[in-house]
A and B are shown apart, each in its own frame.
Chain A
Amino acid sequence: MKIAVCCKAAPGAVTDVKIAPGGKALHYQSEFQVMNECDEYALEEAIALKRAYGGEVTVLTMGSITTQDILYLALAKGADRAVRIDVQLQDSQAASAVLAAALKKLEYDLVLTGTQSRDTLSGVVGIAIAERLEIPYAFAVTQVEADGDKAIKVRKELGGGRYADVRLSLPALLCVQTGIQPLTYVPPARMLRARQQAVRALSLGDLVAEEQIVPRGYRFLDVFPPERIGQAQFLEGNAREVAATLLAKIKEVL
């Protein structure tokens, strides 16, 4: 099975979020970038499928050269090839257009992504890629198995304790749910070896026209710390005092 995994390099702790001039993007400070955790589960599932059925795993990301670290991590975990698309995008639809164009240049039976990225929290890119590639898809997938050479069977979450078993013809795209596989640890020596491997770079010009990645139809008006719905009252003091106060409040409602 040829599997492509889309992994996002997401900022760690973010500070100083501001609206960029023009209102189409955000500026912020972030000390480091990590592999988006939801996507890391997609990578682990890809490697597990390769182990079970054979094949190869190609990992893709978008971003500047600094995002390359997450590709080395993917190679160290067992991916065979890495591709970086040299473009930085915040708009989910634009990102899906670029990734879909890149996937058209690759061979794949299955595309895996996570469900959501920790920065935009939008959960749009995966399914939007599938729609652009005109392939079937499933969201919040918790189990995957081959069903012959031309199809897979998956279990996906529907919420409220319900699941659906779905058969999809290949090629297909799956947004995998967290916890589908345990996350593996990479020893530093393996990470060092991975850094010797080549990463294929694609430029935006190879993939889509500039106007396809212009965010359309919206602009940021304001960014602010979330309003506190519950108007939380913060308790201070030593643990025993706080515990006594809390318990009194708890007893009032019981």
Chain B
Amino acid sequence: MSCDILVITEHWKGRVDAITYQMLAKGRQLADSMGVGLTAVVVGHQLGVVVEALKVKGMDTLLIIDDPALEQAGAEVQAHVIADAALRIDPSLVLIGYSLVGMEMAPAIATRLGVPAMTNCVNVEILGGELVVTRPLFDGTVHAKIALEGRGPALVAIQRGATPMVQLPAKAASVQAVTVDVQAIPTRSKVLEVIEESVSEVDIAKAEVLVAVGRGIGDKEKISIIEELAESLGGLMACSRPLVDLGWLSRERQVGASGKSVAPKVYIACGISGASQHLSGMSDSRLIVAINKDPNAPIFQVAHYGVVADLFELVPALTEEAKKVKRKVAS
């Protein structure tokens, strides 16, 4: 039994996803304090560039599973291959990013390994000799600390941006190719095509000021007050997922895990409760202002300034103030 920590990597078109580096940083830290090794696994085809990028990121061992059939393989084949590789090294802890790809993969891998799946975590640490995860529950209004008994084995999926990115020790990993008979795995799904959204006219990722609106607005007709505030600050209007689901705003304005990640100088969240999928897309903004009726809304966890108030009073007042300042500058 190796008891290593295993990090499952994510990559696309030769680029390693930032969430993987976050997992490697956390994995390295835990491995050092537990006195075990850190192994990462990368799955796909023609992985040269990805392997070059990964192998100097602080792991002891990098496992490569490269097979042409993996390029178009459905999620169940990928999960199967990764679980088989994990079984061979018998890790004490499997770390994976809680991205959409990780969300699809994590439950399958944990079920195949027969270990608990602790998903959507904001941290994993060693407390009193035990591995302990922290995760939100009940719409994010409560956090729980949960001990993984016997120091695992367990699978832990961590939210994007939840744990700090640190400089990884630049050591060269031992790179090992793992051969898997992919053909022997029943293939019941196949990726036909990957589509990338074309660049839209409204690019919220480039704006210095974003005024984002959420379900708290209540009425499609009232979105205009948000638009006016964005305009008066020389910024753009953005939104959380529910408004896109309702068909009130287009997807190009959506911030969060399934929309865009943004980090403007100013982010004003209006009537957004702050689901973790939203927070992961905007928590790096320089100044975050949250306006919400509910003082327990998770958005206040990342805000620098919070106002527990009615949008329909405060937002027009802010617009008025912004216009006043503009007029002063103009005169």
Total contacts A-B at CB 8 Å: 283
Assess whether B308 is in contact with A234, with CB atoms less than 8 Å apart.
Answer: yes
What distance in Å separates the Cβ of A140 from its nearest Cβ neighbour in chain B?
5
* Least distance between A170 CB and chain B CB atoms (Å): 9
User: In the bound complex, what is the Cα–Cα distance between A223 and B140 (angstroms)?
Assistant: 12
Which 4 pairs from chain A and chain B are nearest by CB?
A179-B245, A139-B104, A161-B197, A127-B107
CB distance from B96 to the nearest CB of A (A): 12
Decide yes or no whether B309 CB sits under 8 A from chain A: yes
B190 touches A221 (CB 8 A): no
Are the CB atoms of B144 and A157 closer together than 8 Å? no
Taking chain B's interface residues, is the majority helix, strand, or loop, or is none over half, making it mixed?
Answer: mixed
Excluding A139-B100, A158-B101, A164-B191, 7 further A-B contacts by CB distance (< 8 Å) are: A14-B142, A138-B104, A164-B194, A217-B116, A233-B305, A247-B322, A254-B208
Question: A89 to nearest B CB, angstroms?
Answer: 14
* Contact of A221 with B289 at beta-carbon distance under 8 Å, contacts A163-B194, A168-B74 already known: no
A166 near B146: Cβ-Cβ < 8 Å: no
A246 touches B147 (CB 8 A): no
Q: Are B142 and A17 in contact (CB under 8 A)?
A: yes
Residues of chain A contacted by B290 (CB below 8 angstroms): 232
Query: Range of interface residues on chain B?
Result: 35 or more
| CB <8 Å contact, A220 and B144 | yes
Per the 8 Å Cβ criterion, residues 101-155 of A in contact with B are: 115, 118-128, 130-132, 135-140, 153, 155
Closest to B115 in A: A217
In the bound complex, residues from chain A placing their C-beta under 8 Å from that of B298 are 226
Interface centre among B107, B152, B300 (most CB of A within 10 A): B107
User: Does chain A have a CB within 8 A of B8?
Assistant: no
Complex contact A228–B301 (CB within 8 A): yes
A26 at the interface (CB under 8 A from B): yes
The reply to whether A221 and B132 form a contact with Cβ atoms under 8 Å apart is yes
Complex CA–CA separation, A166 to B74 (angstroms): 7
Instruction: Indicate with 1 or 0, residue by residue over B148-186, a CB within 8 angstroms of chain A CB atoms.
Output: 111011100000000000000000000000000000000
Q: List 25 A-B contacts (CB under 8 A).
A: A93-B111, A96-B107, A96-B111, A119-B137, A121-B137, A136-B189, A137-B104, A138-B189, A159-B258, A162-B196, A164-B191, A165-B193, A178-B241, A178-B242, A178-B245, A179-B245, A182-B246, A219-B146, A223-B142, A224-B145, A225-B296, A227-B143, A235-B307, A240-B317, A254-B266
The interface size bin for chain A is 35 or more
The contact of A247 among B257, B296, B325, by CB within 8 Å, is: B325
Cβ of B302 under 8 Å from chain A: yes
CB distance from A15 to the nearest CB of B (A): 9
Closest B residue to A91 using CB positions? B116
- Please list the residues of chain A having a beta carbon within 8 angstroms of any beta carbon in chain B: 11, 14, 17, 26, 28, 92-93, 96, 115, 118-128, 130-132, 135-140, 153, 155-169, 172, 175, 177-179, 182, 215-235, 239-240, 242-244, 246-247, 249-254
Asked whether A218 lies within 8 Å of B116 as measured between CB atoms, the reply is yes
Of residues 50 through 109 on chain B, the ones whose CB sits less than 8 Å from some CB of chain A are 74-76, 79, 99-101, 103-104, 106-108
The answer to whether B39 has its CB under 8 Å from any CB of chain A is no
Q: How far is the CB of A10 from chain B (nearest CB, A)?
A: 9
Q: How far is the CB of A6 from chain B (nearest CB, A)?
A: 14
Asked if residues B107 and A131 are in contact (CB atoms below 8 Å), the reply is yes
CA distance A217 to B116 in the complex (A): 6
Most chain-A CB neighbours within 10 Å: which of B188, B261, B309? B188
B136 / chain A contacts, CB cutoff of 8 Å: 121, 226
Shortest beta-carbon distance, B156 to chain A, in Å?
11
A230/B303 in contact, CB under 8 A: yes
Which residues of chain B from 13 to 72 have any CB-CB distance to chain A below 8 Å in the complex? none
Residues of chain B from 277 to 298 with CB closer than 8 A to chain A in the complex: 283, 286-290, 296, 298
Q: Mask for B113-142, Cβ within 8 A of A = 1, else 0? A: 001111110000001000010011111111
B313 proximal to A (CB < 8 A): yes
User: Is there a chain A Cβ closer than 8 Å to B209's Cβ?
Assistant: yes
**Please, how many angstroms separate the alpha-carbon atoms of A5 and B104 in the complex?**
18
Q: Is there an interface contact between A166 and B302, defined as CB atoms closer than 8 Å?
A: no
Q: Is the CB of B321 within 8 A of A243?
A: yes
Judge whether B202 is part of the interface by a CB distance below 8 angstroms. Answer: no
On chain A, the residues within 8 Å of B1 by CB distance are none
Complex-state Cα separation, A119 to B138, whole angstroms = 4
A-chain residues with CB within 8 Å of residue B265 when the two chains form the complex: 253-254
Q: Which of A121, A140, A162, A244 contacts B140 (CB 8 A)?
A: A121
**Interface residue B112 (Cβ < 8 Å from any Cβ of A):** yes
Contacting pair A239 B111 (CB below 8 A): no
CB within 8 A of A120: which of B74, B137, B300, B304?
B137
Is B9 part of the contact surface with A, judged by Cβ < 8 Å? no
Would you call A222 and B145 a contact (CB within 8 A)? yes
Question: CB < 8 Å: which of A118, A128, A178, A250 contacts B289?
Answer: A250
B residues near A229, Cβ cutoff 8 Å? 283, 301-302
Contacts of B304 in A (CB 8 A): 230-233
Contacts of A159 in B (CB 8 A): 99-101, 257-258
